[in-house]
Amino acid sequence: MVEKSQTGLWPSLYDPFRTFGQKLAEFLSPASDARFADDTYTITMELPGVSEDDIELTVNDGVVSVRGEKKTEREEKGDTWYFTERQYGAFSRSFRLPPDADETGVAAGLKDGVLTITVPKSEPKAAAAKKVEIKKS
Protein backbone atom coordinates (compact mmCIF):
# COMPACT_ATOMS: atom_id res chain seq x y z
CA MET A 1 0.00 0.00 0.00
CA VAL A 2 1.36 3.42 -1.01
CA GLU A 3 0.75 6.35 1.31
CA LYS A 4 0.21 9.83 -0.03
CA SER A 5 2.06 12.45 1.85
CA GLN A 6 0.19 15.54 2.86
CA THR A 7 2.59 17.69 0.87
CA GLY A 8 1.62 15.80 -2.27
CA LEU A 9 -2.05 16.55 -1.60
CA TRP A 10 -1.75 20.30 -1.02
CA PRO A 11 -0.59 21.40 -4.49
CA SER A 12 -3.74 19.92 -6.04
CA LEU A 13 -5.88 21.92 -3.62
CA TYR A 14 -4.16 25.19 -4.58
CA ASP A 15 -4.23 24.63 -8.37
CA PRO A 16 -7.50 26.50 -8.95
CA PHE A 17 -6.12 29.54 -7.09
CA ARG A 18 -2.89 29.65 -9.09
CA THR A 19 -4.68 30.49 -12.33
CA PHE A 20 -7.48 32.55 -10.77
CA GLY A 21 -5.86 35.92 -11.55
CA GLN A 22 -5.34 35.06 -15.20
CA LYS A 23 -8.87 33.70 -15.59
CA LEU A 24 -10.32 36.80 -13.92
CA ALA A 25 -8.35 39.08 -16.25
CA GLU A 26 -9.60 37.14 -19.27
CA PHE A 27 -13.18 37.36 -17.98
CA LEU A 28 -12.94 41.14 -17.49
CA SER A 29 -11.19 41.75 -20.83
CA PRO A 30 -13.40 43.23 -23.53
CA ALA A 31 -14.52 40.82 -26.23
CA SER A 32 -12.53 41.35 -29.40
CA ASP A 33 -12.23 40.11 -32.95
CA ALA A 34 -9.35 40.35 -35.42
CA ARG A 35 -9.61 39.80 -39.15
CA PHE A 36 -7.77 40.68 -42.32
CA ALA A 37 -8.50 41.63 -45.91
CA ASP A 38 -6.26 42.10 -48.91
CA ASP A 39 -5.06 45.54 -47.82
CA THR A 40 -5.91 45.93 -44.10
CA TYR A 41 -6.07 44.29 -40.70
CA THR A 42 -9.11 45.12 -38.56
CA ILE A 43 -9.50 44.69 -34.81
CA THR A 44 -12.86 45.30 -33.15
CA MET A 45 -13.52 45.47 -29.42
CA GLU A 46 -16.78 45.70 -27.53
CA LEU A 47 -16.59 48.66 -25.14
CA PRO A 48 -20.17 49.56 -24.21
CA GLY A 49 -20.44 52.57 -21.94
CA VAL A 50 -16.81 53.66 -22.53
CA SER A 51 -16.19 57.08 -24.06
CA GLU A 52 -13.35 58.03 -26.40
CA ASP A 53 -11.78 60.08 -23.61
CA ASP A 54 -11.43 56.97 -21.44
CA ILE A 55 -9.55 54.92 -24.08
CA GLU A 56 -5.82 55.02 -24.75
CA LEU A 57 -4.63 53.42 -27.99
CA THR A 58 -0.90 53.03 -28.62
CA VAL A 59 1.26 51.32 -31.22
CA ASN A 60 4.79 50.40 -30.24
CA ASP A 61 7.26 47.95 -31.72
CA GLY A 62 4.66 45.93 -33.62
CA VAL A 63 2.09 45.82 -30.81
CA VAL A 64 -1.26 47.61 -30.68
CA SER A 65 -2.34 48.20 -27.07
CA VAL A 66 -5.75 49.38 -25.90
CA ARG A 67 -6.18 50.52 -22.31
CA GLY A 68 -9.03 52.24 -20.63
CA GLU A 69 -11.47 52.47 -17.83
CA LYS A 70 -15.18 51.88 -17.74
CA LYS A 71 -17.14 54.26 -15.54
CA THR A 72 -20.88 53.74 -15.58
CA GLU A 73 -23.45 55.14 -13.20
CA ARG A 74 -27.18 54.64 -13.31
CA GLU A 75 -29.75 56.14 -10.99
CA GLU A 76 -33.51 55.66 -10.96
CA LYS A 77 -36.08 57.07 -8.55
CA GLY A 78 -39.71 56.31 -7.97
CA ASP A 79 -42.32 57.41 -5.47
CA THR A 80 -41.39 54.70 -3.00
CA TRP A 81 -38.06 53.39 -4.30
CA TYR A 82 -34.55 54.41 -5.24
CA PHE A 83 -32.03 52.43 -7.31
CA THR A 84 -28.42 53.25 -8.07
CA GLU A 85 -25.76 51.18 -9.78
CA ARG A 86 -22.11 51.94 -10.45
CA GLN A 87 -19.59 49.98 -12.48
CA TYR A 88 -15.90 50.83 -12.59
CA GLY A 89 -13.05 48.83 -13.98
CA ALA A 90 -9.85 49.11 -15.96
CA PHE A 91 -9.13 46.98 -18.99
CA SER A 92 -6.16 46.32 -21.23
CA ARG A 93 -5.68 44.28 -24.40
CA SER A 94 -2.66 43.96 -26.68
CA PHE A 95 -2.36 42.57 -30.20
CA ARG A 96 0.89 41.71 -31.95
CA LEU A 97 0.85 42.95 -35.54
CA PRO A 98 2.06 40.83 -38.46
CA PRO A 99 5.33 41.86 -40.13
CA ASP A 100 3.56 43.42 -43.13
CA ALA A 101 1.44 45.82 -41.00
CA ASP A 102 2.06 49.55 -41.47
CA GLU A 103 2.22 50.95 -37.91
CA THR A 104 2.23 54.54 -39.18
CA GLY A 105 -1.25 54.22 -40.69
CA VAL A 106 -3.19 52.91 -37.69
CA ALA A 107 -6.63 54.51 -37.33
CA ALA A 108 -9.48 53.97 -34.89
CA GLY A 109 -13.12 54.90 -34.41
CA LEU A 110 -15.72 54.30 -31.71
CA LYS A 111 -19.36 53.82 -32.69
CA ASP A 112 -22.22 52.31 -30.68
CA GLY A 113 -19.84 50.90 -28.07
CA VAL A 114 -17.59 49.14 -30.60
CA LEU A 115 -14.01 50.28 -31.10
CA THR A 116 -12.72 49.55 -34.61
CA ILE A 117 -8.98 49.70 -35.24
CA THR A 118 -7.72 49.50 -38.82
CA VAL A 119 -4.11 48.83 -39.73
CA PRO A 120 -3.10 49.05 -43.38
CA LYS A 121 -0.81 46.45 -44.84
CA SER A 122 2.47 47.78 -46.17
CA GLU A 123 3.48 47.26 -49.75
CA PRO A 124 5.60 44.15 -50.17
CA LYS A 125 9.24 45.08 -50.36
CA ALA A 126 10.97 43.97 -53.49
CA ALA A 127 13.87 41.72 -52.73
CA ALA A 128 17.00 43.63 -53.62
CA ALA A 129 19.96 41.54 -54.58
CA LYS A 130 23.26 42.68 -53.18
CA LYS A 131 26.47 41.74 -54.86
CA VAL A 132 29.09 40.50 -52.42
CA GLU A 133 32.70 40.92 -53.34
CA ILE A 134 34.86 37.86 -52.95
CA LYS A 135 38.31 38.65 -51.66
CA LYS A 136 41.33 36.71 -52.79
CA SER A 137 43.22 34.96 -50.05
Q: Where are the domains of the chain?
A: 30-120
CA-wise closest residue to 107 among 70, 67, 64, 68: 64
Chain mean pLDDT for the chain: 81
Q: Give the least confident one: 7-16, 71-80, 116-125.
A: 7-16
Angle, helices 6-18/20-28, rounded to nearest 10 degrees:
10
Q: With beta carbons less than 8 A apart as the criterion, state whether 95 and 63 touch.
A: yes
| Cβ-based burial of 125 (10 A; exposed 0-12, middle 13-18, buried ≥19) | exposed
Class of domain 30-120: mainly beta
Amino acid at 123: E
Q: 46-103: per-residue pLDDT in tens? A: 988 888 999 999 999 999 999 998 877 788 888 888 888 777 778 889 999 999 999 9
Q: What is the pTM of this model?
A: 0.65
Residue 18's pLDDT band, with cuts at 50, 70 and 90, is low
Phi-psi region of 15 (alpha: psi -120 to 50; beta: other; left: phi over 0): alpha
